[in-house]
Structure 1
Amino acid sequence: MEVFFLSARSLKRVHNDDPGCFDCRMKYLNWLKKVDEDFDHLKERDVNHDENSDNAMETDVDGGNKSDKCSVTEQHVKGDTSEIAIRVPRCTKSHRSCIVCELSDETCKVLSKQQRTLIFVKRGIFISEDARCCPSHIYNKQLNFDSLCQIRGTHFDKLVFDANRLEEIIADFRLIVDNLKTFDFDDPYSLSDMDYYNITGLHKDEFDIVVDSVVSMRESRIRSKRTTTALFCAKMRLGLSNSVLSTMFHIKDDKVVSRIIHQVTEALMKNFVPKHTGFRHVSRQTVLEQHQTLKANMLLTSNNQQVVVVMDGTYLYLQKSANNELQRRNYSTHKHRHLIKPMIITTRVRCLFAF
């Protein structure tokens, strides 16, 4: 019987023939005196086990029973195979139908390994390699959040994984956990539509429209257009300081947050604002047909060709600025607060002309 010891500090195996210093050897001898005869029953059990194993092997050889010998060999081989069976839910295995809506469509695309792994991590549902999905459920090469919630594991299978496959799954899980953030706008699985609205003030579809419109803003290796646009919208909606935003979006420096907000502002003023605000972004006929109510025509116009606009001046309260000049300009002696009073010109229904 081979005897080895385990180091209490380094957790390494220490064999009998390994060299050691005098201090360690004296500590071992003192410990051996304290625990003397405490492990004798373990030695006796190992000796009896070895004797029984030797007797069993001699019986097999003397008996000459080939069938018993073969069965022992088969059991030994089966015991050495590194496989494990796990009972997991799965969706349909059909190559023709979508795993989300279960409709047959010729435009369905095969899901990649990364997409199938993310579904298994988020929902615990196994997706086969031949599974397909409709293009309408995919945004930016990833399954969107609503489609992910609609997947149902209607069947249960016992999946057999070998050692290599388990190593791949564990590596994928570690990679996902390492890249996990508080919230990630680049990951379609991390945020729901309500989460988008609470952080940015826009629903997910509206946020996607804003991101697609800022074509002049370049993406970097670290930050994408979705992340920078979300940071700008969070600043406008929540009014948080740059230091808090840097913590939320995992940015190391507050100055980087200020630079991102400036870049997004320039991109929105160049690409988004001229197409969605101002008197030239929409025609007169479009305003009459889509942005004016019947009640406004009956009460405020003499014929159906007059446009009704609403002009409103309101107060927008501000925090006290660190800039002394700006602080003096936006302070109201009547309200005794820092504010601005913009004039908004809009139609009766969802059309902004000027601000």
Structure 2
Amino acid sequence: MNEDQMKTESKKIFPCILCKKRTRPNDRKKCESTAIRRFLRKNFLGEANSNDILCNKCRHRYHGNQKTCQQKSSSLPVCQPLQPGMCSPPSISLPLQRTPSSHAYCLICKRPGPKLVVVSSAARFSAFLHHEIIIPPGSRCCPSHIDEGEFRPGVLTKIQTFESSFVNKSTVLELIQKIRNYALQTSTSRFSFELSTMSNSDYMALTGISKENFEDLHSFISSDIRNTQNRGTRMSLGIFLLKLRSGMSNQLLATIFGISKSSLCRAVKSVRTALMKSFVPHHLGLQHTTREEIIENHTRPLAQELFGDFTNKKAIAVLDGTYIYIQKSNNFQFQRKSYSLHKGRPLVKPMVVTSTDGYFLTVLGPYLARNNDATILNHMLHTNVEDLKGWFHEDDVFVVDRGFRDSVDMLEELGIRAEMPRLMSRGQKQMTTLDANASRLVTKIRWVVEAANARIKRWKYLAHVLPTNQVPFIGDYVRIVCALSNRYCKPLSTGSEDEDMALACKMRKLSA
């Protein structure tokens, strides 16, 4: 053998047929003996050729005691293989695409390491299920190709593969078991938020948001929710939105999704907590945006012309309380405070604050039914909740209804102007023309808060009578729904500046 042949021979890789470990020249032995090949066939269910290589550690299993060798082969992995049960050599040929197996470079872009990550078992199974590509265990790729433990869309279309695959019996059994588990999970329900098999119209009907918006919402909370054996993060989010959208009971939802009721309750709780932590603070509340942004982007020119000043624009907010009905409580004190004489049933009242285009500024409460709108607003101003006094400036406008009449004096002390429909004096049977026209100007702007309340009740869970054990979480549910509306829904009231200016001038002229 000349020097060139020796160099070529040294560059070859001689892996052990059992443990796949790269062997050195003094640590390899060919399977020339028939007894060794028979031993491998009997104990490792694999056919070996005379040119296959065994490392010294695996070869010693044959030369040792036969009984001891069999016990060790059944209880201990040989030379620490990549996965348990992967000891048998690849002997089954399948007409499926397979990627090269290497730890040194990315299986997709062929970029060398060292900053590579091992492809997870879930990502390998997803590649086999959707693209019919077998990825060997232990294969690595760049972190940029992986998103939340799975391959990014379109990544596997550029991958280079072999036309056929040689696999061992353990790999086949593993694939069969995973396919069986997948079939059992999907057969219990046609709703599969994890695999994105539903259309955009299905997402709109079930969750109230589009498929694209669902993925955007999932990106906010994916790091705060953990995957379990029965459900993934997308499934948990889909269950939560479907519950809010339809108002179905936990038992019915558990039957539909094929999980236990306790597991479903844990999913709803985890998603609610994650949304309140990572999503709601960015899309609801006086501190999630600036005063200037609300004035410029969420205030109609019609409202500025009727109640504000275009030279020095003011913040205009519309306030109103909405009702969330609850069951009768066995706690007498709470039942007495939550019972509404006006509605004749127990309820709680969240206070909704919107801009003039229906954008939710904040939701406060909920408050007990014995508090009217004026009492709630006075409490908000006294406690300066969410820095209310700092966010609103002097000469800003609150558009309210007649239920806030007892708060007008406090608003005037703070320099905030209250626009409210006119009240008739004692003994007066009909409003004057000026008062009636002034009231119409207010209702032209104030209707958006009523439409915003109707948008909240569009989520059927909040339109139903809620059990008393859900009272502590009603505020979270209402805030989540309002944040979803701000993020994904169109404004309730829109209009161009020219049209609003012309309409405002016409209304002022007719009301004079």
TM-score when scaled to structure 2? 0.37
Structure with the larger RCO, 1 or 2 (CA within 8 Å, 6+ apart): 2
TM-score when scaled to structure 1? 0.50
